[in-house]
Amino acid sequence: MKKAAFALLLLAGALARAPVEAPAPAPWHDGEQLVYRLSWKGIPMGRQILSARRWGRGWHFSSRIENRGLAGLAGFAMKVESYTRADHFTHHFLRDLTIPGEGRRLLTATVAGATRVHFVWTDGSVHEFTRPQSDVLDDAAVLYYVRVHPDAAELWLINFPDLVSGPLRSLGRRKIKTAFGWRAAEGYLFDAEGASIEVWYGADAKRWPLRMVFGHQWGGFEAELVAVDPAR
């Protein structure tokens, strides 16, 4: 009996000393801001600003469209606020989207053991659902998650009327024309249940998203990186 107890103590000590796997290091820095030239259905819409700031052990990712030019004239507006855990999965999330001629759609989500989504439709009606998945991503977090985990096999994305799941497919490597000249890039595609995200990341240590294409039932956006501020 004493030998068994001693063995258990040794095992407990070994487990306590075992290294805890740390989250993969991020290739972006605290305060990184990426500026994109944005178009919607082929129409120039102004600029999209994507930023990353530390939030505890996780990150606060923000995406917004500067409400000027055609975007402002048409009444188009979008704001995304994403707060993540240390492993870059979503902790809580807000998407505030106004489509010209259709109205405003507001989605919020919180993740704590399960994913709870609250959605307000253009007519003011409220819809809610809860799903057991907790390793989920949102519109902004997915862009950073794949920067760190390009080998991810399957992703769960927050959406309405339900979560969307599907594989992350590699599009290979090629040179693409950018505002910084021709750059080697690696492409990835998530396409499932009406949600499509195609991103081409720079094939270097920083892995900036150089070009992004978002497809939805209400139209597609294209974003091309034109500036990094502050550049480091």
Instruction: Tell me the whole-structure pTM to 2 decimals.
Output: 0.85
Q: Does any domain span residue 8?
A: no
pLDDT tens digits, one per residue of 115-172: 999 999 999 999 999 999 999 999 999 999 999 999 999 999 999 889 999 999 999 9
Number of domains in the chain: 1
Of 5-14, 28-37, 145-154, 197-206, which gets the smallest average pLDDT? 5-14
Q: Output the pLDDT for position 3.
A: 46
Is residue 42 included in any domain, yes or no? yes
**All residues at 6 or more sequence positions from 56 whose CB lies less than 8 Å from its CB, including other chains:** none
20 lies in some domain: no
Residue 11 has pLDDT above 60, yes or no: no
* pLDDT bracket for residue 70 (50, 70, 90): low
Flag whether 22 is in a domain. Answer: no
In a domain, 10, yes or no: no
CATH of the domain at 50: 2.50.20
- Kindly tell me if the per-residue pLDDT of 201 is higher than 80: yes
- Closest listed residue to residue 136, CA positions, set 106, 107, 166: 166
pLDDT of residue 203: 96
Instruction: Give the residue numbers spanning the domain of 223.
Output: 27-228
pLDDT in tens, 215-230: 765 557 899 999 998 6
Q: Write down the pLDDT at residue 89.
A: 98
- Report if residue 21 sits inside a domain: no
Please indicate, yes or no, if residue 79 is contained in any of the structural domains: yes
Mean residue pLDDT of the chain comes to: 86
Query: Considering the chain, what percentage of its residues have pLDDT values greater than 70?
Result: 83
Residue 210 C-alpha from the chain's centroid: 15
**Cα 23 to Cα 28: distance, rounded to the nearest angstrom:** 14
Q: Is residue 108 part of a domain?
A: yes
